[in-house]
Amino acid sequence: MLDVRFDPTHSGPLRGLRVLDLSRLVAGNMLSLQLADFGAEVIKVEDPDGGDTLRQWRERGPNHPEGVPVWWKVYARNKKSLAIDLRSEPGRAALRTLAAGAQVLIESFRPGTLEKMGLAPEALLALNPKLVIVRLTGWGQTGPYHQQPGFGSLVEAMSGFAAKNGAPEAPPMLPNMALADMVAGLYGAFAVAAAVREVETNGGAGQVIDLSLLEPLLSIMGPDAAAHHVSGQVPARTGNRTSITAPRNIYRTKGGDWVALSASTQGMTERLLRAIGRAELIDDPRFRTNADRLAHVDALDAVVGGFIGERTLEENLAFFREREVTVGPVYHIGQIVADPHVVARGIVVRAPDADTGALPMHAVVPRLSRTPGGLARPAPRLGEHTLELLRGAGLSEAAIQALIDQKLIAP
């Protein structure tokens, strides 16, 4: 694993972009991470009493009985922390001062909360007409559900993901990761880039981005709505198979490991059947076309799985890779971080960490040839940059001391 150092002098293509991130949990942090990794100055605006909830998500181990906030350390890297009480008017006044000099503001409150705080988009845009405001919620700013809580698990259920995920005989299955949040964060980063370009290149004004968790996840579900309209059928749960192409599955190897195989073109299927010594099946009426193979997928999987089951994982990988058949190992995280390709490309890096000495995390993606992203600073302590940022915004020492005296900031 590649060891890296945080380089505070690193400057990416988004240098000069100031982002105020008022969000909590995963989606907003995923969004602002993309911007921070490429040089934006992302300021996490946190409650002095505990900060972002991600700080509380801790991983415990033999050497760390109190737990390490790994979510925070990974998704808050490259960011600054301003701990200020926005429930107070002095705190909100300080935020307005910061917003006047920012290009982006991200929030994930329930619809209407900003308005109650006196920070409605209209007021912020009056203060800073070029500000891009991201409003991140479960269901959006409008519609019958807009006031309902919207955690990602609910969205993953309602989007159709859970209904088509899992084995045919099993219940619908939610992902064991923050899928809806992650997808929304990526969509949000693109939306910010588009809106900032409108301001900077096209001479436009700022605007509000209404970003729900539901719509991004629904958009990556494939053409399910169109398929349902045409066929009248709902997608079936197919486990590791797919209703689109066959063969596509995971297969158990000799020794108990697993490989994934996808022969999603006619040419690849024919190459696979020749490789395993079953070229005669290419013209078998059960397997001649993709539609034929889908109709007889049990028989096809028995042929492919039988061949794979007679060989170890290493033997299968070597055999199929030599013949350019599309297979890959089913890894757990301990295996993927040690994979020679992952190591050679530095896909996972190990960065200095105050709690663990060195902490693995994903490298910056994607890779830009001329102005790549990088690691400038570790995830901040709560309020680590409060005084620096307030002074930089022009607040007087007396005003800052008043905030300290009232316990409205964590310096």
β-strand partners of 358? 352
Rounded to the nearest 10°, the torsion over CA 108, 114, 119, 124 is 50
3-state SS string over the chain?
A: CEECCCCCCCCCCCCCCEEEECCCHHHHHHHHHHHHHCCCEEEEEECCCCCCHHHHCCEEECCEEEEECHHHHHHCCCEEEEEECCCCHHHHHHHHHHHCCCCEEEECCCCCHHHHCCCCHHHHHHHCCCCEEEEEECCCCCCCCCCCCCCHHHHHHHCCHHHHCCCCCCCCCCCCCCHHHHHHHHHHHHHHHHHHHHHHCCCCCCEEEEEECHHHHHHCCCCHHHHHHHHCCCCCCCCCCCCCCCCEEEEECCCCCEEEEECCCHHHHHHHHHHCCCHHHHHCCCCCCHHHHHHCHHHHHHHHHHHHHCCCHHHHHHHHHHCCCCEEECCCHHHHCCCHHHHHHCCEEEEEECCCEEEEEECCCCCCCCCCCCCCCCCCCCCCCHHHHHHHCCCCHHHHHHHHHCCCECC
Is there a catalytic annotation at residue 339? Answer: no
- Give the residues across from 350 on adjacent strands: 3, 360
Catalytic residue among 21, 37, 52, 181: 181
**Tokens 């942090």 appear where?**
29
Instruction: Write out the catalytic residue numbers.
Output: 181
